[in-house]
Structure 1
Amino acid sequence: MAGVSPDFFQALGHVFARSDLLTQALTHPSVGQGRRNSRSVPYERLEFLGDRVLGLVVADMLFQAFPDEAEGALARRFTALVRRETVARVALAIGLDGQLAMAKGDEDAGGRGNPGILADACEAVIGALYADGGYEVAARFVRAHWSGLMSEALAPPKDAKTTLQEWAQGRGKALPVYTVAGAEGPSHEPVFLVEVAVDGVGSASGQGPSKRIAEQAAAAALLEKVMS
């Protein structure tokens, strides 16, 4: 494929039979916007596929690597490994940022270093590997680039509520206070809105299909706010 560096091909570990799949995976949605008759196909469909493949492979890796851990611990490890920042980290490690095709305006705005864009494109590349070579080709790529990340921490990551509580206590603050702000949707499928506040620090909100999940989302949002 013209324009793609040999080092990037080496990081992928696969020779594409359908080079158009890799081209699509490396094409940001901004390419072709506003141009009539543009044939550029952005990576969003492959991103959808790659996200699911990544999740399955990482789940299997964790299941095999930690046979004695309970579901909750595995879930926390899983969340840490598939979160946007981690996937973007892999994207940078393989040089994906330099291979993306994107509109000049998005590039000038720092698009090549945007964690969201990098994570989406990396998932699209995984989707392309799967679509072209099958599960084992995609799984080999994920194992190669996630195994080291998986072994970085001996203990499973803490959930957001625990992390926020320890953060507040470590700074002499009162414990976080969670308040259910409301619920939407039908009774059999409610979506809860929860607010969390730490006195003297600030507040944030989160939502989810249960109060517990909404509390975790709110805690994660406040952590992102105070640590940014």
Structure 2
Amino acid sequence: MSNAGHPEARAALAAALPSLAAGLPPAPVVADPTYLTHSSAHGATHWKFEAPVEHPVQDYERLEHVGDALLGAEVTLMVHEAYPQLVVGVRSLVKSSLVENELLALLSSAYGLPDQIRTAWAQSFSLRANPSVRACVFEAYLAAVYEEHGHAVMSAFVREVFKPLLPVAVEAMREVYVPPSAPVAVPYGGLVRNPVSALYEWTQRGARRSLSWGAPEGIGPPHCRTWSIQLCVKDGGESVYHEGVADTVKAAKHLAAMLACAEMDILF
């Protein structure tokens, strides 16, 4: 499936998979190698509507189409069963992150499928290294498991593979939609000092000190938008970056400034 997931969930899944790989379930054995065959191995044959009965299936394209649907349905059910309170928009992002090409390509590699892909000799290296091809082969494999072993075996395998990955995606999205509450300015010396003001005061006490803010970025639907902003603090030749995430731009800026103050022991 094309990449439609959320970047935070995508990154969290990619980071988590290496440590989870040792616990992946064994792959059911599939006798028919069609799921490993790329169309370049035999030359693509195109039909206007349907292939003749006597024309055998020679590559994974049709299996990948079925596997994509089977995987999407199974993961959707897993999200619904494990997290029934998630709103629909977040459910869609979690599901998309779990079934997009980037993660499926990594799973395909974890099961050693890319090295087995059958292609035209001249294209073997580039196709086996292509994340989209790797993902397609994984989906085709699921369809092959379904055809040879039935839905129950396919379903059990998918659920074992994705059970530890599902909470990773959900918690990554939780951090985006439910960020920590932005801190408020605290009393200091009988006054309330804003960390943004404290930072600007700090820049005045050094010849090569400066602050710069990135453009705020909105994440999520309009009715539940989260804002992030990046702060660059320069002191001489050194630059340090801090990011604030909150439900308003002002609160995100406040949080980024507070993080910078905390790191540099600036009282506010």
TM-score interval for Structure 1 and Structure 2 normalised by the shorter chain: 0.5 to 0.7
Letter in 1 for 2:26: A
Deviation, structure 1 residue 113: 1.7
Q: 2:35 aligns with which of 3, 19, 25?
A: 25
| Residue of structure 2 equivalent to 1:195 | none
Distance in 2, Cα, partners of 1:130 & 1:55: 14
| Native 8 Å contact 2:39 2:119 kept in 1 | yes
Deviation, structure 1 residue 40: 7.4
| Residue of structure 2 equivalent to 1:83 | 100
Distance in 2, Cα, partners of 1:171 & 1:115: 35
Distance in 2, Cα, partners of 1:90 & 1:152: 15
Q: 1:64 aligns with which of 57, 74, 81?
A: 81
The DSSP-based 3-state class of the residue aligned with 2:173 is coil
| Residue of structure 2 equivalent to 1:140 | 156
Distance in 1, Cα, partners of 2:70 & 2:120: 28
| Residue of structure 2 equivalent to 1:131 | 147
Runs of 4+ in 1 over 3 A off after TM superposition: none
| Residue of structure 1 equivalent to 2:166 | 150
| Native 8 Å contact 2:74 2:158 kept in 1 | yes
Distance in 1, Cα, partners of 2:173 & 2:217: 20
Distance in 2, Cα, partners of 1:34 & 1:56: 29
| Native 8 Å contact 2:37 2:119 kept in 1 | yes
Letter in 2 for 1:12: A
Give the CA RMSD over aligned residues: 2.8
1:18-57 matches, within 5 Å, as 19-20=31-32, 23-33=33-43, 41-57=58-74
Unaligned runs of 5+ in 2: 1-24, 46-54, 175-211, 219-268
Distance 1:171 1:40, change over 3 A: farther
Q: 2:123 aligns with which of 95, 106, 112?
A: 106
Deviation, structure 1 residue 139: 1.1
- Residue 133 (structure 2) pairs with residue 117 (structure 1): yes
Letter in 2 for 1:86: L
Q: 2:214 aligns with which of 148, 172, 176?
A: 172
| Native 8 Å contact 1:76 1:156 kept in 2 | no
Deviation, structure 1 residue 129: 0.8
Deviation, structure 1 residue 111: 1.7
- Superposed CA deviations along residues 68-99 of structure 1, whole A, max 9, x for unmatched, are 21111111100100111011111011111122
Distance in 2, Cα, partners of 1:141 & 1:85: 19
TM-score normalized with structure 1 length? 0.58
Letter in 2 for 1:112: R
Letter in 2 for 1:59: T
- Superposed CA deviations along residues 191-214 of structure 1, whole A, max 9, x for unmatched, are xxxxxxxxxxxxxxxxxxxxxxxx
1:9-20 matches, within 5 Å, as 11-13=26-28, 15-16=29-30, 19-20=31-32
TM-score normalized with structure 2 length? 0.50
Distance in 1, Cα, partners of 2:167 & 2:93: 14
Distance in 2, Cα, partners of 1:63 & 1:82: 15
Structure with max Cα Rg:
2
Deviation, structure 1 residue 171: 6.3
Letter in 2 for 1:173: A
Distance in 2, Cα, partners of 1:41 & 1:171: 55
Letter in 2 for 1:78: K
Deviation, structure 1 residue 148: 2.1
| Residue of structure 2 equivalent to 1:201 | none
| Native 8 Å contact 2:94 2:169 kept in 1 | no
